[in-house]
Amino acid sequence: MSTEAPEAAPAPEEPRRGTTLRSSKGRMADPLFKWAVASCGTVVLVILALMVLRTTTEAWPVFAKEGFFGFLTGEQWQSGNSRTEITGTYGAWPFIYGTLVTATIAIVIALPLAIMVSFYLTHLAPRRIAKPLSYTVELLAAVPSVIFGLWGLHWFLPNVLRPFFEFLEGVLGWFFLFEGPIRGVGYLSAGIVLAIMILPIMTAIIREVIAVHPVEQRMAAYALGSTRWEVLRNVVLPASFSGIVAAAMLGLGRALGETIAVLMLIGGSQSWGASLFGTGSSMASHIAATFGEATPESRTALMAIGVALFLVTMIVNILARVIVWRLGRMTGDAAV
């Protein structure tokens, strides 16, 4: 401080000193960088807009014939062979249903699992276990989905899921969700494998969120005689709520859009039914399954499914934001 003051004072007497303040570096570099970063952000928006625009225009004839809501709620999917007009019947409801059901199963299974794994990894596991376990979970994220599909279909389904399904049907068969017959492949099989697939990304995020939870608050809860479960439920989870919802959204996003593994496990029928043992298709799996031999007409209809998938994903995300916003204020989450 004392050395700066005398230097600043004589400045007017020495005109040359002023020139040290003039440089093009800061004046040019900062705006340039800002411009570059802003345009990168804009590119993302432009690409998204172009995609939406393009698929919607391509799909337009189908929406024109079936009506937008008619397309979303229609239960029949009969492809026509025309090159110029829409002659078939296109209703996407069985696929929308398949997508929503499998994604819901996945999130219902994966979310609690991811929370427990994260809590164990961050707060309970000894370091020598926590590290390898974290890596293993992350490795799970690197496994290509077709491997999950193959493994699910040829090992997991016959050895684990089928006995489990038979048990479920035996106990809860009277309940419409668990009505037989059991075909093996179906909504539940696809949903459970999806749960395994989205577990790593959710665990990675929830782990980070829980890890930054202030230790003083956990200590306060322990000092009041809380058990570990009470600390997790009453202190850590409420404070990490928005981060956990964000993780669930990422997982849900992946579950909604997952194609190959679902295609291999969901059964591929074009009908829908309430029983979780039933077979069906998801939007993404139906597009992938029929795109190869699609006629120009049914290609248009597949584009329409694409638009519907985009919409469903968007609605789910908006709902999640609303949940975070509403519940976050109630639980006093500092991050909201």
Partner 1 sequence: MSVSNTATPRGTEPGRGIAPDTVRYNREVPGLGDPVFDISDLSIHYGSNKAVRDVNMQVGPRQITAMIGPSGCGKSTVLRTLNRMNDLIPGARIEGRVTYHGEDLYASDVDPIEVRRRIGMVFQKPNPFPKSIYDNVAYGPRINGTRGNMDDLVEETLTKAALWDEVKDKLKESAFALSGGQQQRLCIARTIAVNPEVILMDEPCSALDPIATLKIEDLMYELAAEYTIVIVTHNMQQAARVSDRTAFFTASVDGEGDRYGSLVEYDETATIFSKPSDQRTEDYISGRFG
Q: Quick one: 87 or 217, whose CB is closer to partner 1?
A: 217
Which of the 8 DSSP states describes residue 176?
G
Beta carbon of residue 131, minimum distance to partner 1 (angstroms, whole number): 14
Beta carbon of residue 323, minimum distance to partner 1 (angstroms, whole number): 18
User: Which of 227, 274, 315, 325 touches partner 1 by CB under 8 A?
Assistant: 227
Stretch that binds partner 1, among 150-158, 162-170, 183-191, 225-233 (CB under 8 A): 225-233
Say whether residue 128 binds partner 1 (CB under 8 A). no
Q: Quick one: 67 or 332, whose CB is closer to partner 1?
A: 332
Q: Quick one: 304 or 324, whose CB is closer to partner 1?
A: 324
User: Which of 155, 159, 234, 274 touches partner 1 by CB under 8 A?
Assistant: 234
Say whether residue 232 binds partner 1 (CB under 8 A). no
Helix, coil or strand: residue 145: helix
Say whether residue 332 binds partner 1 (CB under 8 A). yes
Say whether residue 120 binds partner 1 (CB under 8 A). no
Residues 138-167 that bind partner 1 (CB under 8 A): none
Query: Cα separation of 3 and 13, whole Å?
Result: 18
User: Which of 30, 85, 166, 230 touches partner 1 by CB under 8 A?
Assistant: 230
In angstroms, how far is the first alpha carbon of the chain from the final one?
41
Beta carbon of residue 239, minimum distance to partner 1 (angstroms, whole number): 6
Query: Cα separation of 306 and 280, whole Å?
Result: 17
The half-sphere exposure of 322 on its side-chain side, counting CA atoms within 13 A, is: 6
**Residues in binding contact with partner 1, number by CB under 8 A:** 22
> Cα separations (Å) of 171 from 182, 187, 240?
14, 19, 36
Cα torsion 31, 37, 40, 44: sign: negative
Beta carbon of residue 123, minimum distance to partner 1 (angstroms, whole number): 9
Q: Quick one: 212 or 224, whose CB is closer to partner 1?
A: 224
Contact yes or no for 182/166 (Cβ under 8 A): yes
User: Which of 41, 126, 181, 292 touches partner 1 by CB under 8 A?
Assistant: 126
Stretch that binds partner 1, among 26-34, 45-53, 224-232, 311-319 (CB under 8 A): 224-232
User: Which of 235, 255, 305, 309 touches partner 1 by CB under 8 A?
Assistant: 235
Stretch that binds partner 1, among 101-109, 245-253, 272-280, 326-334 (CB under 8 A): 326-334
Which of the 8 DSSP states describes residue 280?
B
| Burial annotation 172-188 (CB, 10 A radius, 16+ → b, else e) | eeeeeebbeebebbbbb
Beta carbon of residue 111, minimum distance to partner 1 (angstroms, whole number): 22
Query: Cα separation of 94 and 3, whole Å?
Result: 77
Query: Cα separation of 53 and 55, whole Å?
Result: 6
Residues 164-223 that bind partner 1 (CB under 8 A): 214, 216-217, 219-223
> Cα separations (Å) of 14 from 10, 19, 21, 233?
7, 10, 13, 68
Say whether residue 334 binds partner 1 (CB under 8 A). yes
Query: Cα separation of 147 and 219, whole Å?
Result: 43
Say whether residue 132 binds partner 1 (CB under 8 A). no
Beta carbon of residue 46, minimum distance to partner 1 (angstroms, whole number): 40
| Sequence-ordered alpha helix ranges (H) in the chain | 4-8, 15-19, 24-66, 68-73, 93-119, 127-142, 145-151, 162-172, 187-211, 215-223, 228-230, 237-239, 241-257, 260-265, 283-290, 296-331
The residues that touch partner 1, with contacts defined as CB under 8 A, are 126-127, 214, 216-217, 219-227, 230, 234-235, 238-239, 332-334
